[in-house]
Structures are given as C-alpha cells and as structure tokens.
Amino acid sequence: MVYVKSSDGIKFSDVEGVDEAEENLQEIVDYLHNPEKYREIGASMPKGVLLVGPPGTGKTMLAKAVAGEADVPFFSMSGSEFVEMFVGMGASKVRDLFRQAKEKAPCIVFIDEIDAIGQKRNSGNLGGNDEREQTLNQLLTEMDGFEGNSGVIILAATNRPESLDPALTRPGRFDRRVPVELPDLQGREAILKVHAKKVKVEDNIDYSAIARMASGASGAELANIVNEAALRAVRDGRKAASQTDFEESIEVVIAGYQKKNSILTDQEKKIVAYHEIGHALVAAKQTNSAPVQKITIIPRTSGALGYTLQVDEGNHYLMNKEELENKIATLTGGRAAEEVAFGSVTTGASNDIEQATKLARAMITRYGMSDDFDMVAMETVQNQYLGGDTSLACSAETQAKIDEKVVELVKQQHEKAVQILTENREKLDELAAQLYEKETITGEEFMNILNS
C-alpha cells in the first residue's frame, strides 16, 4: 500500500483540458477544508467519486491533484493489488486499507483500475465464492457499513464503467461519476502549453495549429508529442524544439517514423502520388470536407506508403448524413484515382476500405441514416472507452440486408469520387506530378495549384 503525504506538488493548475471534472472535484477539496459549511445545511459529502474515461486522459493525475489541493493524506492502490491467490487475502487487505484510512482521516483513498475487483458478481463464474467476489463484498461493506466513514473519501478510476457491479455504483457508495473525456481543441492547446513548459521551445510556436492537427489525441499522447518534438531537436543538434519538430512529431504519433531505407520503384511512387492526391482532391471538391494540411508520399513505419493529413477547423460534435457520405467518398478517393489514372487497382487502399466500411455500417446500424431501417438500432457498442467493439442485435436476414445496404452506400460514394476525379483529370495529373517530384506538399501549395 502506498501512503503519500501529498508532497507531489500536483495541483489543479497543473492539470489542463478537463475543466468540468476539475469543477466536480473542487467541491470535495472544499469539503475537506471546511466541512462545517456543508454540515450546517445538512448536506453530506459524496462517499466515493468514480472517474471514468478513455486511457490517457488524466484520471490518476486528477486524483493526485485533489490530494495535493486538499493537503490531506493520500492512499493509493491499484485494483489488481487486492487480487490474491489465496481466498480471503484480498478482503483482509481492504479491511487494512480502511482501518489505516480511518486513523488518518480526513484523507483520500484512491483505487486505480477498480474494474480489477469491481466487476459484476457471478458474471460467468461457476463457483459463487471466489476471491475477487469476497474482495468486492468487503469493499461494499466498508464503503457503506453501519458506521459512517467520517472524512474518508474514495476516488476510483476505470475505463470500463459498464463492467462494474451495480451495487458499487449506486448512490451511497460511488455517489458521483465524473467523466474525464478526451480534450477538445482549447483543452489540447492548454495541455500542450503545460508540457511545453518542461522543454525548451522556440518563441514562435503556434500551439493552436498543433492542437488542430492532433485532433482526438488524449493528454498522454499530447505529452508524448511534446517529448518527441524535443527528442527530434536533440537528434538534429539544436537547442530548442521548433514548430516543424512539433508537426513532425504528430506525424510520428499518427503514422510512425519515416522509413529512410525503403525505396519505392518509380511506378509505385507514381501510384502512391495519385492515390494521395485522389483523397485530397475529392475532399477539396466536396463542400463540407476538412481542409487539407499536408500530403506526403514518404513511407512510414506503420506501413503507410503516404498519407493525407486533414484538419478540422474548431470542434466538431455533430455530423449530418451528407458530411458522413462525403467522408466515405474522400476515403474511396485514393482507389478512385488509381482507377482513373491507371485503369487498375492495388493493395494500397486496404485501410481506406476498412474505414469506409466501418463508417457506412455505423450510418445504417447505429445512426439511423437509412430509409429501410429508420431509427432502429441494429448494433450496440460495448467498451466505449476501449475501442468500442460492436455487437449486432438482429436476425440473419436483417444482417444480410444490412450488408447489402453497406455495399450500396460505399459503391455510390466510390462512383461519386470517380466522377469528381474524371471531371478534374487535368488538376489530378498536375497535382500528382507535383507531389511525385516534391514528395511532400502543404495544403497551401495544393490549394494554389487547384485554384490556378
């Protein structure tokens, strides 16, 4: 068991990009500082706070910040530390933990990855008396037994909230559920600035541009991007990280390092150039598509032979049917360009095909964007914070019909992409020639040629 007198020095000011979660937790800090205010009105403080969210969003860091702000003892354990080989050991560890916590009260107990012990009971276990279940029962008793836990506040973190036992998540145990989601645009910018303070950077860094490029990145990934930028500066023998370092490090996180030694044949390079320009041109010719930031045909360690980096302006929470269809058309644009230019197809579009199919399937089964099924959910998402696997909830006949609709939808958009590229054949050739020669072109150069 780790007992820390909160000397880490982590405060709320060190945690950025999770303002709502911070506000929620601020109240607990306030309660630990002056409980009389709450007792006067008769309000009792939440017993437990469950932090849920995807990996890398700062759940553990927030718990440390609460302890740092409240300046109270902080007991930190991981859920897996309670799971022992011998039955009864985990339960006795829980008893010890709470006994010590009560002696040190007011204090904070933090259990990381609580799903290791908090899973629904008897979910598929044949024996009803296994070790994990006893540990959970003891935890339930400690959190809401006969005696009130004065001043012991329990924080727990998980990225699998749906697998937790309902008795654990009911009010009176974990009264409050605080979502710690992926940061939005402003959040990403603030997080980048916090991490950039720790490394030497040049003066003219445009953090908002970097934040826009890193859309969908978690706090941990943004910290990694800053670190990669600093490492790149060291490799080049420079004293500070530049804007280019940051942009390159985002590409490293998205697509892997550049493969210096893989030489494409001229014909392959030409095909890849047409493929990438196909994506960019279809995106640019459709009104609602995100502008292109960069197009490159330098192979990467992730297996990509080139890629088109599209950047959304601002935050985008809702997408209508037309925008999703445009997105599918953009994904098919690479293959369409190969067909238009060479009359044959290659294996290069496998990732695009996968993404287009996924999107088309979601439109029909989850977003209710097909006339045949209207607003009926054919698919449910599980583990939304860990990749979001889906499971079908319909008959085999319906499944066959869904497959038909998915094929029809993708085919339609593929034809649209071919049409756009055929109509703009001259621009396609001109842009592909430019990309073939330069290997990397920026969005600005792309738009200049397109509009010339």
pLDDT for 83: 81
Token digits of residue 97: 């933990």
Q: What is the mean pLDDT of residues 143-172?
A: 84
Closest CA to 278 of 298, 295, 256: 295
Active-site entry in 81, 131, 133, 276: 276
Q: Where in the chain is the domain with CATH 3.40.50.300?
A: 2-179
Secondary element (H or E) of residue 247: helix 243-255
Q: Where in the chain is the domain with CATH 1.20.58.760?
A: 266-451
Residue 45 DSSP symbol: P
Q: Which residues pair with 440 in a beta bridge?
A: 296
pLDDT for 2: 56
Band of the pLDDT at 7, cuts 50, 70, 90? low
- Would the pLDDT of 146 be above 70? no
Give pairs for 427-430: CB < 8 Å, separation 24+: 427/281, 428/274, 428/277, 428/278, 428/281, 428/337, 428/340, 428/341, 429/341
Q: Which amino acid is at 45?
A: M
Contact 353, 437 (CB under 8 A): no
Question: Would you mind telling me the total number of residues written for the chain in this entry?
Answer: 452
Read off φ and ψ for residue 243, nearest 5 degrees.
-55, -45
pLDDT for 113: 92
**d(Cα 49, Cα 174) in Å, to the nearest integer?**
5
With both helix axes pointing from N to C terminus, report the angle between 350-365 and 396-423 in degrees, rounded to the nearest 10.
Answer: 130
Token digits of residue 441: 């072109």
pTM of the model: 0.83
Q: If you search the block for the tokens 């080989």, which residue do you land on? A: 85
Average pLDDT of the chain is 86
Whether 276 sits among the annotated catalytic residues: the reply is yes
Q: If you search the block for the tokens 């929470």, which residue do you land on? A: 317
- Would the pLDDT of 174 be above 60? yes
Band of the pLDDT at 430, cuts 50, 70, 90? very high
pLDDT in tens, 374-390: 888 888 877 787 777 77
Tell me the CATH class for 266-451.
mainly alpha
Q: Which amino acid is at 342?
A: F
Contact 305, 348 (CB under 8 A): yes
Q: What is the mean pLDDT of residues 148-159?
A: 82
Q: Where in the chain is the domain with CATH 1.10.8.60?
A: 185-255
pLDDT for 414: 96
Helix, strand, or coil here: 107? strand
- Would the pLDDT of 274 be above 90? yes
Q: If you search the block for the tokens 């020669």, which residue do you land on? A: 437
DSSP E strand boundaries for 266-357: 292-296, 307-310
Band of the pLDDT at 289, cuts 50, 70, 90? low
Contact 342, 274 (CB under 8 A): yes
- Cis peptide upstream of residue 106 (ω within 30 degrees of 0): yes
pLDDT in tens, 75-112: 888 888 888 777 778 889 889 988 888 888 788 899 99
pLDDT for 332: 95
pLDDT in tens, 322-344: 989 999 999 999 999 999 999 99
Cα separation values, 72 from 24, 107, 157, Å: 18, 5, 19
Beta carbons within 10 angstroms of residue 101's beta carbon: 23
**d(Cα 445, Cα 433) in Å, to the nearest integer?**
13
pLDDT for 237: 92
- Would the pLDDT of 123 be above 60? no
Band of the pLDDT at 392, cuts 50, 70, 90? confident
Contact 449, 427 (CB under 8 A): yes
Tell me the CATH class for 185-255.
mainly alpha
Of the candidate ranges 117-131, 166-180, 336-350, the one whose mean pLDDT is the lowest: 117-131
- In sequence order, the 6+-apart residues with CB closer than 8 A to the CB of 4 are 67, 73, 74, 75, 76
pLDDT for 231: 94
pLDDT in tens, 50-68: 999 999 898 988 988 888 8
Closest CA to 308 of 320, 293, 322, 321: 293
CATH code linked to domain 2-179: 3.40.50.300
Q: With pLDDT > 90 as the criterion, what percentage of the chain qualifies?
A: 37
pLDDT in tens, 9-55: 688 888 888 888 888 888 888 888 888 888 899 888 788 899 999 99
Secondary element (H or E) of residue 229: helix 219-235
pLDDT for 263: 75
